[in-house]
Amino acid sequence: MSYEEDLEAYRSQLLQSLSSPPSRSVSGVLEPIQVYVNERRVGELEGAGMDATLHVKSLDHIETIQLRTEDGTLLGGLVAPEYGYRTSRIQLSSDAVELCVHNTAQGGSLNAVFVPKPSFWSRMGKTLADVADRLAIRRPDAAIAHSMRTVAFTQALLAVMVVGLVLDRVATWMGSEQMLTSGIQPEALRTVSVTEMGKLEQQLGELARVQEKVGEALDLQVKGMAQLHQTMAKLSSSHESVASRVVMVKEEMEKRQESLEPETDRTTPHPASRGAMVDQEQLEVAISSLTEDNAKLSRELASLEERNQTLTAKLHMASMNASKAVDPNPERLLANQADVARTNQSLQVAETLQNSQTQPFLFWVTFSEGTSQESIDQWVHEKKGRKGSINEGWQEVRIVPPAVPPNLFLEQIRGEKIVKAARISE
Protein backbone atom coordinates (compact mmCIF):
# COMPACT_ATOMS: atom_id res chain seq x y z
CA MET A 1 0.00 0.00 0.00
CA SER A 2 1.45 3.34 -1.02
CA TYR A 3 1.79 6.39 1.17
CA GLU A 4 -1.27 8.13 -0.28
CA GLU A 5 -3.45 5.04 -0.34
CA ASP A 6 -2.65 4.32 3.27
CA LEU A 7 -3.49 7.88 4.24
CA GLU A 8 -6.69 7.89 2.20
CA ALA A 9 -7.79 4.61 3.80
CA TYR A 10 -7.18 6.09 7.24
CA ARG A 11 -9.12 9.23 6.33
CA SER A 12 -12.07 7.20 5.04
CA GLN A 13 -12.07 5.12 8.19
CA LEU A 14 -12.17 8.22 10.37
CA LEU A 15 -14.98 9.75 8.30
CA GLN A 16 -16.95 6.53 8.54
CA SER A 17 -16.66 6.42 12.32
CA LEU A 18 -17.71 10.09 12.49
CA SER A 19 -20.76 9.42 10.32
CA SER A 20 -22.15 6.62 12.47
CA PRO A 21 -24.37 7.95 15.26
CA PRO A 22 -23.41 7.02 18.80
CA SER A 23 -25.54 4.57 20.72
CA ARG A 24 -25.45 4.17 24.46
CA SER A 25 -27.05 0.84 25.02
CA VAL A 26 -24.73 -2.12 24.83
CA SER A 27 -26.42 -5.51 24.69
CA GLY A 28 -29.55 -3.93 26.09
CA VAL A 29 -27.87 -3.05 29.39
CA LEU A 30 -27.52 0.57 30.35
CA GLU A 31 -24.08 1.52 31.54
CA PRO A 32 -23.15 4.54 33.65
CA ILE A 33 -22.48 7.74 31.74
CA GLN A 34 -19.09 9.32 32.29
CA VAL A 35 -19.22 13.10 32.74
CA TYR A 36 -16.27 15.23 31.64
CA VAL A 37 -15.82 18.90 32.43
CA ASN A 38 -13.11 20.70 30.45
CA GLU A 39 -12.05 17.28 29.16
CA ARG A 40 -11.45 15.97 32.66
CA ARG A 41 -13.51 13.19 34.12
CA VAL A 42 -15.49 14.47 37.10
CA GLY A 43 -17.98 11.69 37.80
CA GLU A 44 -20.67 9.52 36.38
CA LEU A 45 -24.41 9.33 36.08
CA GLU A 46 -26.52 6.25 36.52
CA GLY A 47 -30.13 5.55 35.81
CA ALA A 48 -31.18 5.07 39.41
CA GLY A 49 -30.34 5.87 43.00
CA MET A 50 -27.98 8.50 44.28
CA ASP A 51 -25.99 8.63 41.06
CA ALA A 52 -28.89 9.85 38.95
CA THR A 53 -27.73 13.42 39.56
CA LEU A 54 -24.31 14.98 39.58
CA HIS A 55 -23.35 18.38 40.89
CA VAL A 56 -19.90 19.73 40.10
CA LYS A 57 -18.43 22.98 41.30
CA SER A 58 -15.20 24.26 39.84
CA LEU A 59 -12.93 27.19 40.63
CA ASP A 60 -12.14 27.50 36.93
CA HIS A 61 -14.64 28.47 34.30
CA ILE A 62 -16.41 25.55 32.76
CA GLU A 63 -15.79 25.54 29.02
CA THR A 64 -17.06 22.21 27.79
CA ILE A 65 -19.10 19.34 29.14
CA GLN A 66 -19.00 15.93 27.54
CA LEU A 67 -20.97 12.77 28.19
CA ARG A 68 -19.35 9.49 27.26
CA THR A 69 -20.09 5.82 27.58
CA GLU A 70 -17.70 3.47 29.34
CA ASP A 71 -16.22 2.51 25.98
CA GLY A 72 -15.47 6.18 25.29
CA THR A 73 -18.21 6.96 22.78
CA LEU A 74 -19.06 10.64 22.87
CA LEU A 75 -22.81 10.82 23.49
CA GLY A 76 -23.34 14.51 23.79
CA GLY A 77 -21.91 17.72 25.03
CA LEU A 78 -22.32 21.34 25.71
CA VAL A 79 -20.22 24.44 25.24
CA ALA A 80 -20.69 26.61 28.30
CA PRO A 81 -21.11 30.38 28.06
CA GLU A 82 -18.39 32.56 29.54
CA TYR A 83 -20.88 33.98 32.03
CA GLY A 84 -24.38 32.99 32.97
CA TYR A 85 -26.52 29.90 32.55
CA ARG A 86 -27.00 27.43 29.76
CA THR A 87 -29.22 24.39 29.88
CA SER A 88 -29.44 21.54 27.47
CA ARG A 89 -31.32 18.29 27.24
CA ILE A 90 -29.29 15.59 25.60
CA GLN A 91 -31.38 12.78 24.24
CA LEU A 92 -29.80 9.31 24.51
CA SER A 93 -32.07 6.95 22.57
CA SER A 94 -34.96 6.67 25.04
CA ASP A 95 -33.30 8.28 28.08
CA ALA A 96 -32.04 11.82 28.43
CA VAL A 97 -29.60 13.86 30.44
CA GLU A 98 -30.43 17.41 31.46
CA LEU A 99 -27.41 19.66 31.85
CA CYS A 100 -27.38 23.05 33.50
CA VAL A 101 -24.11 24.92 33.56
CA HIS A 102 -23.53 28.22 35.31
CA ASN A 103 -20.37 30.31 35.00
CA THR A 104 -19.62 33.23 37.29
CA ALA A 105 -16.54 35.30 38.08
CA GLN A 106 -15.83 32.89 40.94
CA GLY A 107 -15.92 29.75 38.80
CA GLY A 108 -18.43 27.40 37.32
CA SER A 109 -20.94 24.83 38.39
CA LEU A 110 -22.70 22.01 36.62
CA ASN A 111 -25.89 20.16 37.43
CA ALA A 112 -26.46 16.98 35.48
CA VAL A 113 -29.63 14.96 35.92
CA PHE A 114 -30.29 11.61 34.34
CA VAL A 115 -33.88 11.40 33.10
CA PRO A 116 -34.77 7.77 32.46
CA LYS A 117 -37.15 6.53 29.79
CA PRO A 118 -40.72 7.25 30.99
CA SER A 119 -43.04 4.34 31.82
CA PHE A 120 -46.25 3.52 29.87
CA TRP A 121 -48.50 5.38 32.32
CA SER A 122 -46.33 8.43 32.47
CA ARG A 123 -46.29 8.45 28.64
CA MET A 124 -50.10 8.26 28.67
CA GLY A 125 -50.25 11.13 31.10
CA LYS A 126 -47.82 13.06 28.96
CA THR A 127 -49.95 12.49 25.87
CA LEU A 128 -53.01 13.83 27.67
CA ALA A 129 -51.00 16.73 29.01
CA ASP A 130 -49.74 17.45 25.48
CA VAL A 131 -53.32 17.61 24.27
CA ALA A 132 -54.12 20.03 27.06
CA ASP A 133 -50.90 21.87 26.37
CA ARG A 134 -52.24 23.09 23.05
CA LEU A 135 -54.88 24.99 24.95
CA ALA A 136 -52.42 26.55 27.34
CA ILE A 137 -49.67 29.09 26.96
CA ARG A 138 -46.25 27.51 26.87
CA ARG A 139 -43.59 28.85 29.17
CA PRO A 140 -39.85 28.08 29.16
CA ASP A 141 -39.49 27.13 32.80
CA ALA A 142 -40.00 23.40 33.21
CA ALA A 143 -41.74 23.51 36.60
CA ILE A 144 -44.14 26.30 35.55
CA ALA A 145 -44.79 24.59 32.24
CA HIS A 146 -45.68 21.42 34.10
CA SER A 147 -48.17 23.20 36.37
CA MET A 148 -49.59 25.10 33.38
CA ARG A 149 -50.16 21.80 31.62
CA THR A 150 -52.04 20.49 34.63
CA VAL A 151 -54.18 23.64 34.79
CA ALA A 152 -54.84 23.36 31.07
CA PHE A 153 -55.78 19.71 31.52
CA THR A 154 -58.24 20.66 34.26
CA GLN A 155 -59.69 23.36 32.03
CA ALA A 156 -60.10 20.88 29.21
CA LEU A 157 -61.86 18.49 31.59
CA LEU A 158 -64.19 21.30 32.68
CA ALA A 159 -64.91 22.16 29.07
CA VAL A 160 -65.83 18.53 28.39
CA MET A 161 -68.14 18.53 31.42
CA VAL A 162 -69.80 21.79 30.33
CA VAL A 163 -70.34 20.35 26.84
CA GLY A 164 -71.88 17.27 28.48
CA LEU A 165 -74.21 19.41 30.53
CA VAL A 166 -75.21 21.46 27.50
CA LEU A 167 -76.00 18.25 25.61
CA ASP A 168 -78.01 17.08 28.60
CA ARG A 169 -79.81 20.40 28.55
CA VAL A 170 -80.59 20.11 24.84
CA ALA A 171 -81.91 16.60 25.43
CA THR A 172 -84.13 17.95 28.19
CA TRP A 173 -85.48 20.64 25.91
CA MET A 174 -86.14 18.06 23.24
CA GLY A 175 -88.00 16.00 25.82
CA SER A 176 -89.95 19.05 26.95
CA GLU A 177 -91.01 19.74 23.36
CA GLN A 178 -92.28 16.18 23.13
CA MET A 179 -94.09 16.65 26.41
CA LEU A 180 -95.54 19.93 25.11
CA THR A 181 -96.93 18.15 22.07
CA SER A 182 -98.38 15.52 24.33
CA GLY A 183 -100.42 18.19 26.14
CA ILE A 184 -98.40 19.04 29.32
CA GLN A 185 -98.89 22.58 30.54
CA PRO A 186 -96.22 25.17 29.58
CA GLU A 187 -96.09 26.54 33.15
CA ALA A 188 -94.91 23.22 34.54
CA LEU A 189 -92.29 22.94 31.83
CA ARG A 190 -90.95 26.42 32.63
CA THR A 191 -90.74 25.46 36.32
CA VAL A 192 -88.73 22.32 35.50
CA SER A 193 -86.50 24.24 33.17
CA VAL A 194 -85.81 26.95 35.76
CA THR A 195 -85.11 24.30 38.43
CA GLU A 196 -82.66 22.50 36.21
CA MET A 197 -81.05 25.76 35.20
CA GLY A 198 -80.56 26.50 38.89
CA LYS A 199 -78.96 23.04 39.38
CA LEU A 200 -76.74 23.62 36.40
CA GLU A 201 -75.62 26.97 37.74
CA GLN A 202 -74.87 25.38 41.10
CA GLN A 203 -72.82 22.67 39.44
CA LEU A 204 -70.94 25.21 37.39
CA GLY A 205 -70.28 27.26 40.50
CA GLU A 206 -68.95 24.19 42.28
CA LEU A 207 -66.77 23.36 39.33
CA ALA A 208 -65.40 26.89 39.29
CA ARG A 209 -64.62 26.63 43.02
CA VAL A 210 -62.93 23.29 42.49
CA GLN A 211 -60.90 24.80 39.69
CA GLU A 212 -59.85 27.68 41.92
CA LYS A 213 -58.82 25.24 44.64
CA VAL A 214 -56.84 23.21 42.13
CA GLY A 215 -55.17 26.39 40.93
CA GLU A 216 -54.28 27.38 44.49
CA ALA A 217 -52.96 23.92 45.23
CA LEU A 218 -50.84 24.05 42.10
CA ASP A 219 -49.46 27.44 43.04
CA LEU A 220 -48.53 26.09 46.44
CA GLN A 221 -46.94 23.10 44.80
CA VAL A 222 -44.89 25.29 42.48
CA LYS A 223 -43.74 27.41 45.42
CA GLY A 224 -42.92 24.29 47.37
CA MET A 225 -40.92 22.95 44.45
CA ALA A 226 -39.00 26.21 44.16
CA GLN A 227 -38.20 26.11 47.88
CA LEU A 228 -37.19 22.49 47.56
CA HIS A 229 -34.84 23.36 44.71
CA GLN A 230 -33.29 26.14 46.75
CA THR A 231 -32.88 23.87 49.75
CA MET A 232 -31.34 21.18 47.58
CA ALA A 233 -28.90 23.68 46.10
CA LYS A 234 -27.96 24.94 49.57
CA LEU A 235 -27.61 21.41 50.89
CA SER A 236 -25.48 20.46 47.97
CA SER A 237 -23.17 23.45 48.38
CA SER A 238 -22.88 22.94 52.13
CA HIS A 239 -22.16 19.27 51.56
CA GLU A 240 -19.41 20.21 49.17
CA SER A 241 -17.90 22.71 51.54
CA VAL A 242 -17.98 20.16 54.37
CA ALA A 243 -16.38 17.58 52.13
CA SER A 244 -13.66 20.01 51.07
CA ARG A 245 -13.04 20.94 54.71
CA VAL A 246 -12.74 17.28 55.63
CA VAL A 247 -10.20 16.83 52.85
CA MET A 248 -8.29 19.90 54.03
CA VAL A 249 -8.26 18.69 57.62
CA LYS A 250 -7.12 15.27 56.49
CA GLU A 251 -4.34 16.79 54.41
CA GLU A 252 -3.32 18.99 57.32
CA MET A 253 -3.21 15.96 59.61
CA GLU A 254 -1.17 14.06 57.07
CA LYS A 255 1.27 16.94 56.79
CA ARG A 256 1.61 17.08 60.53
CA GLN A 257 2.12 13.35 60.74
CA GLU A 258 4.76 13.54 58.05
CA SER A 259 6.54 16.35 59.82
CA LEU A 260 6.46 14.39 63.09
CA GLU A 261 7.48 11.03 61.62
CA PRO A 262 11.21 11.78 61.13
CA GLU A 263 11.58 12.54 64.82
CA THR A 264 12.82 9.45 66.54
CA ASP A 265 11.57 10.30 69.98
CA ARG A 266 8.41 12.34 70.21
CA THR A 267 8.74 12.86 73.97
CA THR A 268 12.14 14.57 73.64
CA PRO A 269 11.54 18.30 73.61
CA HIS A 270 12.99 20.46 70.89
CA PRO A 271 16.57 21.68 71.66
CA ALA A 272 15.54 25.29 71.27
CA SER A 273 12.66 24.95 73.70
CA ARG A 274 14.92 23.01 76.08
CA GLY A 275 17.44 25.88 75.98
CA ALA A 276 14.67 28.35 76.63
CA MET A 277 13.52 26.35 79.65
CA VAL A 278 17.07 26.30 81.07
CA ASP A 279 17.34 30.04 80.54
CA GLN A 280 14.07 30.58 82.29
CA GLU A 281 15.15 28.49 85.28
CA GLN A 282 18.41 30.42 85.56
CA LEU A 283 16.51 33.68 85.34
CA GLU A 284 14.14 32.61 88.07
CA VAL A 285 17.07 31.65 90.33
CA ALA A 286 18.76 35.00 89.65
CA ILE A 287 15.58 36.90 90.40
CA SER A 288 15.02 35.04 93.68
CA SER A 289 18.62 35.62 94.79
CA LEU A 290 18.32 39.28 93.87
CA THR A 291 15.11 39.54 95.84
CA GLU A 292 16.86 38.04 98.85
CA ASP A 293 19.79 40.41 98.45
CA ASN A 294 17.41 43.31 98.16
CA ALA A 295 15.64 42.28 101.37
CA LYS A 296 18.99 41.90 103.14
CA LEU A 297 20.06 45.37 102.00
CA SER A 298 16.79 46.80 103.19
CA ARG A 299 17.30 45.22 106.61
CA GLU A 300 20.86 46.57 106.81
CA LEU A 301 19.66 49.98 105.76
CA ALA A 302 17.03 49.92 108.48
CA SER A 303 19.57 48.90 111.10
CA LEU A 304 21.95 51.58 109.89
CA GLU A 305 19.23 54.16 110.17
CA GLU A 306 18.52 53.04 113.75
CA ARG A 307 22.17 53.26 114.56
CA ASN A 308 22.35 56.65 112.91
CA GLN A 309 19.51 57.89 115.05
CA THR A 310 21.21 56.52 118.15
CA LEU A 311 24.44 58.17 117.20
CA THR A 312 22.72 61.45 116.44
CA ALA A 313 21.12 61.32 119.85
CA LYS A 314 24.46 60.52 121.43
CA LEU A 315 26.10 63.35 119.54
CA HIS A 316 23.40 65.64 120.62
CA MET A 317 23.90 64.57 124.24
CA ALA A 318 27.62 64.90 123.93
CA SER A 319 27.48 68.33 122.48
CA MET A 320 25.08 69.34 125.25
CA ASN A 321 27.41 67.97 127.86
CA ALA A 322 30.31 69.73 126.20
CA SER A 323 28.49 72.97 126.19
CA LYS A 324 27.55 72.59 129.86
CA ALA A 325 30.98 71.90 131.09
CA VAL A 326 34.46 71.36 129.84
CA ASP A 327 35.69 67.97 130.73
CA PRO A 328 38.80 68.14 132.95
CA ASN A 329 40.20 64.97 131.44
CA PRO A 330 41.74 65.87 128.06
CA GLU A 331 42.03 62.19 127.01
CA ARG A 332 38.31 61.69 127.50
CA LEU A 333 37.71 64.81 125.47
CA LEU A 334 39.84 63.41 122.70
CA ALA A 335 37.99 60.15 122.94
CA ASN A 336 34.71 61.99 122.69
CA GLN A 337 35.97 63.85 119.67
CA ALA A 338 36.97 60.57 118.07
CA ASP A 339 33.53 59.20 118.79
CA VAL A 340 31.93 62.21 117.20
CA ALA A 341 34.17 61.82 114.15
CA ARG A 342 33.21 58.12 113.84
CA THR A 343 29.58 59.04 114.24
CA ASN A 344 29.87 61.63 111.48
CA GLN A 345 31.57 59.09 109.25
CA SER A 346 28.74 56.60 109.83
CA LEU A 347 26.23 59.28 109.05
CA GLN A 348 27.99 60.01 105.77
CA VAL A 349 27.88 56.30 104.80
CA ALA A 350 24.21 56.12 105.61
CA GLU A 351 23.53 59.24 103.61
CA THR A 352 25.46 57.82 100.66
CA LEU A 353 23.36 54.67 100.81
CA GLN A 354 20.20 56.71 100.99
CA ASN A 355 21.38 58.80 98.06
CA SER A 356 22.09 55.71 95.99
CA GLN A 357 18.50 54.57 96.64
CA THR A 358 16.93 57.87 95.73
CA GLN A 359 19.23 58.80 92.82
CA PRO A 360 17.55 57.96 89.43
CA PHE A 361 18.97 55.17 87.30
CA LEU A 362 20.10 56.53 83.97
CA PHE A 363 20.43 54.55 80.77
CA TRP A 364 20.41 55.07 77.04
CA VAL A 365 18.12 53.32 74.65
CA THR A 366 17.32 53.18 70.90
CA PHE A 367 13.99 52.03 69.56
CA SER A 368 13.05 49.82 66.66
CA GLU A 369 12.40 51.51 63.32
CA GLY A 370 8.88 52.72 62.85
CA THR A 371 8.15 53.01 66.56
CA SER A 372 5.91 56.00 67.07
CA GLN A 373 6.66 58.74 69.55
CA GLU A 374 3.43 57.87 71.29
CA SER A 375 4.59 54.29 71.86
CA ILE A 376 7.92 55.56 73.17
CA ASP A 377 6.20 57.92 75.59
CA GLN A 378 3.91 55.17 76.75
CA TRP A 379 6.85 52.84 77.26
CA VAL A 380 8.73 55.45 79.31
CA HIS A 381 5.58 56.05 81.30
CA GLU A 382 5.24 52.34 82.01
CA LYS A 383 8.78 52.33 83.29
CA LYS A 384 7.84 55.27 85.55
CA GLY A 385 10.73 57.09 83.96
CA ARG A 386 11.55 60.40 82.46
CA LYS A 387 13.00 61.15 79.07
CA GLY A 388 16.20 63.12 78.79
CA SER A 389 18.27 64.29 75.89
CA ILE A 390 18.71 62.50 72.57
CA ASN A 391 22.20 61.92 71.26
CA GLU A 392 22.78 60.30 67.86
CA GLY A 393 19.51 58.41 68.11
CA TRP A 394 20.09 57.30 71.72
CA GLN A 395 17.36 58.43 74.09
CA GLU A 396 18.38 59.19 77.65
CA VAL A 397 15.92 57.70 80.16
CA ARG A 398 15.93 58.17 83.93
CA ILE A 399 13.98 55.77 86.07
CA VAL A 400 13.69 54.75 89.70
CA PRO A 401 16.59 52.35 90.31
CA PRO A 402 15.45 48.88 89.34
CA ALA A 403 15.26 45.98 91.78
CA VAL A 404 17.55 43.86 89.61
CA PRO A 405 21.21 44.48 88.77
CA PRO A 406 21.73 46.98 85.93
CA ASN A 407 23.05 44.44 83.44
CA LEU A 408 20.09 42.14 84.00
CA PHE A 409 17.78 45.13 83.80
CA LEU A 410 19.30 46.09 80.47
CA GLU A 411 18.88 42.55 79.20
CA GLN A 412 15.23 42.72 80.14
CA ILE A 413 14.85 46.05 78.37
CA ARG A 414 16.53 44.74 75.22
CA GLY A 415 14.05 41.88 75.15
CA GLU A 416 11.15 44.26 74.79
CA LYS A 417 9.49 44.58 71.42
CA ILE A 418 10.01 48.25 70.69
CA VAL A 419 13.60 48.43 72.09
CA LYS A 420 16.35 47.99 69.56
CA ALA A 421 19.35 48.43 71.91
CA ALA A 422 20.07 49.67 75.44
CA ARG A 423 23.22 50.65 77.34
CA ILE A 424 24.24 52.45 80.50
CA SER A 425 27.13 54.61 79.33
CA GLU A 426 26.39 57.44 76.97
Partner 1 sequence: MQNTVSKSQVMADQTVTVSRLEEVVSTSDEFDRVVAQALPVLLDRATGYTKRFLRETGQWNDDIEHEKFALRWGSEYLERFLVCGRSEVPCRPLFLFDSLVAKQHSKPEPFCYHPDLLRPLGRFLDGLVARAVVSRDALIALYRHSYGWGAGEVIAVTGLNGLESQRIYKNFRRWRESGWQRTMDEIGLTKTELAELTSQQQRQRQRFNGEAERLIRVAQAHYRKSEPDHYPCLSRSQWREMFTQGYGCDYRIWHLALCLDCMQTAWGLGSNGSLTEEKPRLELLVRP
Which residues bind to partner 1, rule: CB under 8 A? Answer: 1, 3, 6-7, 10-11, 13-15, 17-19, 26, 31, 34, 36, 39-42, 63-64, 66, 68-72, 74-79, 86, 88, 247, 254
**How far is it, in rounded angstroms, from Cα 222 to Cα 216?**
10
**How far is it, in rounded angstroms, from Cα 6 to Cα 413?**
88
**How far is it, in rounded angstroms, from Cα 293 to Cα 298?**
9
Considering beta carbons, is residue 10 or 173 the nearer one to partner 1? 10
Considering beta carbons, is residue 49 or 328 the nearer one to partner 1? 49
Give the nearest distance from C-beta 177 to partner 1 in angstroms: 57
Considering beta carbons, is residue 18 or 325 the nearer one to partner 1? 18
Give the nearest distance from C-beta 14 to partner 1 in angstroms: 4
Considering beta carbons, is residue 15 or 137 the nearer one to partner 1? 15
Closest alpha carbon to 420 in 371, 347, 363: 371
Considering beta carbons, is residue 4 or 382 the nearer one to partner 1? 4
* C-beta pairs of 234-237 under 8 Å, 24+ apart in sequence: 236/55, 237/57
Element containing residue 363 per DSSP (H, E): strand 361-367
Give the nearest distance from C-beta 238 to partner 1 in angstroms: 19
Q: Contact, 80 vs 88, CB < 8 A?
A: no
**How far is it, in rounded angstroms, from Cα 423 to Cα 418?**
15
Q: Contact, 343 vs 315, CB < 8 A?
A: yes
Give the nearest distance from C-beta 268 to partner 1 in angstroms: 23
Phi, psi angle pair for 41, to nearest 5°: -75, 130
| C-alpha Rg value of the chain to the nearest Å | 52
Considering beta carbons, is residue 67 or 136 the nearer one to partner 1? 67
Give the nearest distance from C-beta 48 to partner 1 in angstroms: 14
- Residue 251's identity, in one-letter code, is E
Give the nearest distance from C-beta 175 to partner 1 in angstroms: 56
Q: Contact, 73 vs 81, CB < 8 A?
A: no
